[in-house]
Amino acid sequence: MKEYLKFYINGQWVDPVEKKTLEVINPANEEPFALISMGTSKDVDKAVAAAKAAFPKFSTTTKQERIELLQSIMAVYQKRYADIAAAITEEMGAPQKLAQHAQAAMGIAHLNTNLEILKKYEFEEDKGPTRIVREPIGVCAFITPWNWPINQITCKVAPALAVGCTMVLKPSEVAPINAYIFAEVLHEAGVPAGVFNLVNGDGPGVGSPLSSHPDVDMVSFTGSTRAGILVSKAAADTVKRVALELGGKSANIVLEDADLNKAVTGSVFGMMSNSGQSCNAPSRMLVPASKQDEVIKIAKAAAESVKAGDPNAEGTTIGPVVSEVQFNKIQALIQKGIEEGATLVAGGPGRPEGVNKGYYVRPTVFANVTNDMTIAREEIFGPVLAILPYKNEEEAIQIANDTVYGLSGYVQGEPAHAKKVAAQLRTGNVHLNLAGPDLNAPFGGYKQSGNGREWGEFGFEEFLEVKAVLGYNAA
């Protein structure tokens, strides 16, 4: 078993203050493959102290120095690219192709995006007699999830480094190895001591002390809405900035004038990707009631072509879900869908045929779902699609917005028509006709899907404070 027992604090790999370990489980075979240390508030104190001490010097580095640092990080990341992809496959079950071409790729993409933003960004501007200055916010605490692990780490770390912040990262204890490798990347790339720190652990042991720490100036959290609420409460006493990227239950409106085969097939594959473990997954497909029977046939065929299996095997479409906890939750929600009267179109409870080990979920599709059913209200976070019929466009928009979430949305149809519908959705992102991600577009949600934005210039500016120097240009 591999051991990752040290934390990265103040430029060194150090032992935890207290000895407490956790086995990391490979979800494909349910067997432990690594051992990590679990931190406490004492480790948090050490890491935050290092970040605080490093901030005065790092915050005053030049733009050129930070450009060169990001370039160095990207070069080392490329050297370790295969290691990062392999770790993600082993710890959270992403098929090799997805880990290599999407999961690990997002890390280098965020680094490059922020490098290009930094090159062009003006940190000072004049408005009449006043100089407006944008300065790094300070010490940042990053709490990241297991579903797109290196993506969520780099979309926080890259802009924070670019603007001159220092930081402490607590990655998910469920999938922590990619973060450990990333810390090695930053060390080799020459990130100054104390600027980046890594402490493994769980929410109560590390996440809560980080969120409430008086010397942390900002918390950026990605995860469940339930945990995000706890982070906000912990941070409130010290009035620090809190950025939250939380859950979703995204509506996917298929309009009357959509290419039905293309829209439905693409949407099923989009929902099943990453085993449905994406906060912005198109989990509620809204279709014209008159076309639901045709949609069911297309969706069934698409779902049955999705192969759940060994992430290291050729031909696998989706791997396992990440853990036994997630597996049991998803199974319970599939059963709930059946009990509440939804029509099971494909998949269903239990593992795929012939599989008796690993946290594999059958690609599942329900039809005749109403928006008051549990599977339409709760974020399942598994390969489970709900098809909801609508009578008219107004009802479709009403159903789409009838949720506590507002992270993403999808509209498919004739482009001008789709744009008009998209304008009426209360959500942070809308994908028209299955448009892919844009790293320069802001990513974040309305309502209980969070606050603040990540990615691109909007994410870059989350890590800046604004200072007005009055009389700067007085005659």
Token pair for residue 466? Answer: 């604004």
Q: Maximum CA pair distance of the chain?
A: 81
Closest CA to 183 of 174, 173, 170: 170
Specify the pLDDT at position 284: 98
- For the chain, percent helix, then strand, then coil, each to nearest 5? 40, 20, 35
Token pair for residue 208? Answer: 């809560």
Find out whether 123 and 137 touch, Cβ atoms under 8 Å: no
Reported as a single tens digit per residue, the pLDDT across 138-188 is: 999 999 999 999 999 999 999 999 999 999 999 999 999 999 999 999 999
Kindly indicate the confidence band of residue 322, based on its pLDDT and cuts at 50, 70 and 90: very high
Average model confidence (pLDDT) across the chain: 98
Tell me yes or no: is domain 2-246+449-469 CATH 3.40.605.10. Answer: yes
Which candidate in 90, 91, 173, 245 is catalytic? 245
* 395 included as an active-site residue: no
Specify the pLDDT at position 387: 98
The share of the chain scoring above pLDDT 90, in percent, equals 99
Specify the pLDDT at position 54: 99
Specify the pLDDT at position 191: 98
Cα 158 from chain centre: 15
pLDDT of 382 > 80? The answer is: yes
Give me the sheet containing 431-432, strands edge to edge.
343-346, 364-367, 384-390, 284-288, 251-254, 409-412, 431-432
Kindly indicate the confidence band of residue 25, based on its pLDDT and cuts at 50, 70 and 90: very high
Token pair for residue 334? Answer: 């599939």
Bridge partners of 221? 143, 244
Closest CA to 381 of 231, 248, 222, 225: 248
Kindly indicate the confidence band of residue 285, based on its pLDDT and cuts at 50, 70 and 90: very high
Tell me yes or no: is domain 251-438 CATH 3.30.1540.20. Answer: no
Closest CA to 149 of 184, 126, 175: 175
Q: Which are the contacts of 171, defined by CB distance < 8 A and separation ≥ 6?
A: 144, 149, 153, 178, 179, 198, 200
Reported as a single tens digit per residue, the pLDDT across 397-439 is: 999 999 999 999 999 999 999 999 999 999 999 999 999 999 9
Reported as a single tens digit per residue, the pLDDT across 47-74 is: 999 999 999 999 999 999 999 999 999 9
Token pair for residue 215? Answer: 């010397």
What's the predicted TM-score (pTM) here?
A: 0.97
Find out whether 457 and 471 touch, Cβ atoms under 8 Å: no
Find out whether 1 and 174 touch, Cβ atoms under 8 Å: no
Kindly indicate the confidence band of residue 357, based on its pLDDT and cuts at 50, 70 and 90: very high
Token pair for residue 1? Answer: 């078993």
End-to-end CA distance of the chain: 70
Find the radius of gyration of the CA atoms of the chain. 23
Bridge partners of 140? 167, 218
Find out whether 144 and 156 touch, Cβ atoms under 8 Å: yes
Alpha-carbon distances of 249 from 224, 385, 400, rounded to whole Å = 12, 11, 9
pLDDT of 475 > 80? The answer is: no
Reported as a single tens digit per residue, the pLDDT across 101-152 is: 999 999 999 999 999 999 999 999 999 999 999 999 999 999 999 999 999 9
Per DSSP, the three-state class of 250 is: coil
Specify the pLDDT at position 347: 98
Q: Residues 239-267: what's their mean pLDDT?
A: 98
Bridge partners of 284? 251, 386
Domain residue limits, the chain: 2-246+449-469, 251-438
Question: Cα separation of 462 and 310, whole Å?
Answer: 39
Find out whether 388 and 399 touch, Cβ atoms under 8 Å: yes
